[in-house]
Chain A
Amino acid sequence: MPIINLPNVRLHVQELNPEGQETIIMVHGMFSNLAVYYFNIAPLLAKHFRVVLFDMKGHGMSEKVPTGYDLTSMTNDLRDLMDALGIGQAHLAGYSYGGLVALKMATRFPDRVGKLAIIEGPDPSEQETLTIIDTYSREFLIHYIENFADTTRLLAGKRQLEKNHRMYEFLFNETSIRSDMEAEKAFFNDPAVAAIAHETLLIYGEESNCVPSGRTLASRIPNATLVLAPGDHNIPVQQPEVIGKELEKFLEAASLPVG
């Protein structure tokens, strides 16, 4: 599996259809990894585009580092990754906290970003954001126990539970992830967000607690379209085809020559 050495961190990267003319880079959310895109959404987009997926630092198979989970550090990583892969400009899609990384890229490095797709990006000023993520993680674990922890195979089930538990323990107790996220509270009020000129697609789940965040972004980013799809915050897992098709439609329009 390709691990790319960047100046500050080693990241696990997967590419689909490397010959594609235009590139889309997809950024996953907190406590997740690139697998959220790998099986359904990425192969669909790879029919038309070069698709680059990567695990954020501290996640998936990327290097575990104690600091640098704020949006500035995360976008430094992404810029370094683009440099390392020789990508001048790419469309960006980001899910949850990855959506905030994509937005931050558009504010810091506008020339490096084509179109911008934000899936379920939460407003970090909402006190509940961290709570939502916490609850989500707990629900995820409970879901996991109910569905996969077959009582006759407790040993095997234990391995996954312990692996997940280790990841939360690491990120919450051994890294700056909590304070880094809390320090981003004012991000949606940053004038740079309202100045994003990129064509922007906002996809939120109808049932998601994050819909108000989507409306906030839709009202601030001049060139943004909000799409509500059936599902909640977990929509890329619940409705990968819907997300894939929305992204395909949004990006295809970009690549069609005008006139």
Chain B
Amino acid sequence: MDQLIQDYKLGKEEIFETLNQFITEVIGEEFVEEMDITPASSFTKDLEMDSIEIVAFSEKVKNHFGSNIDFTGWLSNMDLDEIIQLKLENIINYIQECQ
């Protein structure tokens, strides 16, 4: 049963790699080299992304994972503090749940 599910669901690792790539595209390779991006990295504190960079990141997520996920809608239910606290793993879990 587990095997069957894994056959068509993207694993956490794959999603992480994709998101990692998007972050690199948004903030630039030269800055990413100085960071250790992990699923526990938070967007504002660890990755130091500002709101317009998170917008650019969101657009990449939406374009890649398509209409199955309502990423902007999901973010809009959070207040500013929650967005500031947001970690990469929260998004990975959200994308997995939507599959």
Contact = CB atoms under 8 A, between A and B. Distances in A.
Nearest to B54: A35
A16 B59 CA distance: 11
Interface in A211-253: 237, 240
Interface string B62-97: 000000000011011010100110000000000000
B45 interface: yes
Contacts of A159: 27, 31, 48
A14 B34 contact: no
Contacts of B58: 38
B46 A153 contact: yes
Contacts, number: 62
B48 A39 contact: no
- Place the interface of chain A in its size category: 20 to 34
- Place the interface of chain B in its size category: 20 to 34
B50 interface: yes
B50 A38 contact: no
A160 interface: yes
A172 interface: no
Contact of A14 (B46, B54, B55): B55
A156 B48 contact: yes
Given A14-B59, A156-B35, A35 B76 contact: no
Nearest to B75: A39
Nearest to A244: B76
A60 interface: yes
Interface in A35-57: 35-36, 38-40, 43-44, 55
Interface in B33-56: 34-35, 44-48, 50-52, 54-56
A35 B55 contact: yes
A38 B71 CA distance: 12
A16 B45 contact: no
Contact of A155 (B34, B50, B72): B34
9 contacts: A35-B51, A38-B55, A39-B51, A39-B54, A39-B76, A150-B45, A156-B31, A156-B34, A160-B50
In the complex, the 8 A-B pairs of residues with the closest C-beta atoms, listed nearest first: A35-B51, A43-B76, A156-B48, A33-B52, A35-B52, A160-B48, A60-B52, A1-B59
